[in-house]
Structure formats: C-alpha cells, structure tokens
C-alpha cells in the first residue's frame, strides 16, 4: 500500500491535558513557599487522587518539585532554572530536555527526536540515540523529506493549506521509496484525516529499513513534534513504542511551556 500510515486510537494517549494539570499543580506548589501537602494540592486543583499521584511522581522525577522532611511539596531546582529570566535559561531548557529525551529513549527502546518548523524548514532541534537505539540514517535531508517522514508530516499537519503549499513549492515531493506519497492532493488528504493528538506511524516511506512515529508538541505559536525511529526488524514494537512516546510527551511539553 503506497504511503501506508497507521494511526493509534486516541484513548489515553494525548499528553496535553496532563500538561495543563501539571501547570496547575506547579502553580499551587509555588503559592505555598513553606510547602503544601498532596491533600491541599488536591483540594486547590480539584484533581482526583489517582491522577494527582501520577502527576506528582512525574514532577518529582523531572525535578520540578521535591518533598521536604515532613512530606510536603516545594518547588524543585529544575523549576527554578527554567522559570528564571537569567541568560542561562535557554541552556537550562536544553539540558532539561536532553535528560527527558534520554529517559524517553530508554523507555521506548528507540531513538527519539524533537523537531520544529522554523522559518519554513524542518529542523531537528535535539535527539537522543545510543548503541541499542540507533539514530535514523539521514540519507535524505529532513528539510527535503517532509512529505515522507513522520517528523515532516507531523509538522505539516499543523500548518494551514497555504503553509503546506508553500513548503512543497520549495521542496518538491520526491519518491524516496515505493511507499512515498508524491501526489499533493493525496498527501493533504492524509494530513487532514490525521487526528492532531494521535501518533502517526510511517512504515518505510522515507527510508527502506526504518519505521518511525511522531506526535505534535505545539507550545504556543511554535510548531513542533516528538518522534522516534527504529529499524524495520523492530516494527512489531512500533505501536506500543508510539503509545509510550505520546504518553511520555508531557514532560517535553512541560519544559517548553514553563
């Protein structure tokens, strides 16, 4: 099947609500400089106990909050670094994202990438790979393969019709594999049918021997995505890995939102 793209069902996969709830928790903790209990946080945020427990665990793991000796929650070092207006803030965000990406790489068992659409081009901003999770062989520049790669199509879904046409006018869709979609109408139809919070799975559309997945991580007006790649012999793991990727996107979005 040409340009085969498989979408996961959206049950419990979108990270956006988690980020909004996490920000509410952080605001609550910040209001109580001397510390605040989970019971008080639940009362002020209105979050159910189970959901709050998972958020507190994630926020502690990422260093945004910590517990004092009495068990009360206070702001953590990561929140102080990312929330400041110091000249080192950008580097702090980069460092925080790298720690998160490294952890996510190990969790999904695949190389992971943060990409953004900047000045009309696809750009890989950061990635985490390793011996057991090799990075994709970029035999074609990502900037020229937006029509075929999971990264590129995730970014294109976030553009309006004029933005998409502008991109394709500068980067003509080329047939990279037998699965690549080169017809603009068919490509746009696939993009329009893609739910915005559901990972897209691409099977060897950009490169033979590689399968990928991507999910949007839009922060403010910035167009971005979180993606993974793995060798095709691991394709049987792709659905589960993409689901884990989407659930793990919340800490990435949070770093960009603070």
CATH number of the domain that residue 226 is part of:
3.30.450.40
Residue 258 lies in a domain: no
Residue 254 lies in a domain: no
What CA–CA distance (Å, rounded) separates 49 from 79?
23
Residue 231 lies in a domain: yes
Residue 217 lies in a domain: yes
User: Is pLDDT at 13 greater than 60 in this prediction?
Assistant: no
| 51-60: pLDDT as tens digits | 999 999 999 9
- Count of structural domains, the chain: 1
What CA–CA distance (Å, rounded) separates 16 from 203?
26
Residue 242 lies in a domain: yes
Residue 190 lies in a domain: yes
The pTM of the full predicted model, rounded to 2 decimals, is: 0.81
| 166-210: pLDDT as tens digits | 999 999 999 999 999 999 999 999 999 988 767 887 889 999 999
Residue 60 lies in a domain: no
Residue 34 lies in a domain: no
The full length of the chain comes to 258
Q: Which domain holds residue 144?
A: 5-12+107-247
Closest CA to 29 of 52, 49, 13: 52
What CA–CA distance (Å, rounded) separates 74 from 122?
39
């Amino acid at each position: 099947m040409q340009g085969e793209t498989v979408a996961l069902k959206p049950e419990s996969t979108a990270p956006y609500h988690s980020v909004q709830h996490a920000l509410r928790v952080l605001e609550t903790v910040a209001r109580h400089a001397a510390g605040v209990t989970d019971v008080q946080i639940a009362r002020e945020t209105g979050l159910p106990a189970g959901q709050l427990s998972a958020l507190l665990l994630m926020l502690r793991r990422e260093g945004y909050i910590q517990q004092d000796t009495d068990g009360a929650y206070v702001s953590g070092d990561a929140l102080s670094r990312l929330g400041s207006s110091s000249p080192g803030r950008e580097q702090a965000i980069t460092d925080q994202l790298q720690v998160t990406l490294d952890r996510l790489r190990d969790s999904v068992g695949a190389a992971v990438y943060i990409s953004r659409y900047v000045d009309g081009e696809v750009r890989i901003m950061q990635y985490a790979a390793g011996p057991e999770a090799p990075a994709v062989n970029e035999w074609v520049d990502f900037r020229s393969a937006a029509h075929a790669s999971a990264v590129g199509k995730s970014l294109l879904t976030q553009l309006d019709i004029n933005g998409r046409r502008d991109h394709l006018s500068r980067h003509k869709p080329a047939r990279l594999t037998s699965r690549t979609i080169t017809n603009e109408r068919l490509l746009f139809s696939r993009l329009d049918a893609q739910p915005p919070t559901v990972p897209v799975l691409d099977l060897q559309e950009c490169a033979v021997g590689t399968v990928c997945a991507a999910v949007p991580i839009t922060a403010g007006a910035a167009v971005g995505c979180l993606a993974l790649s793995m060798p095709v012999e691991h394709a049987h793991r792709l659905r589960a890995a993409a689901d884990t990727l989407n659930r793990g996107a919340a800490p990435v979005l949070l770093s960009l939102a603070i």
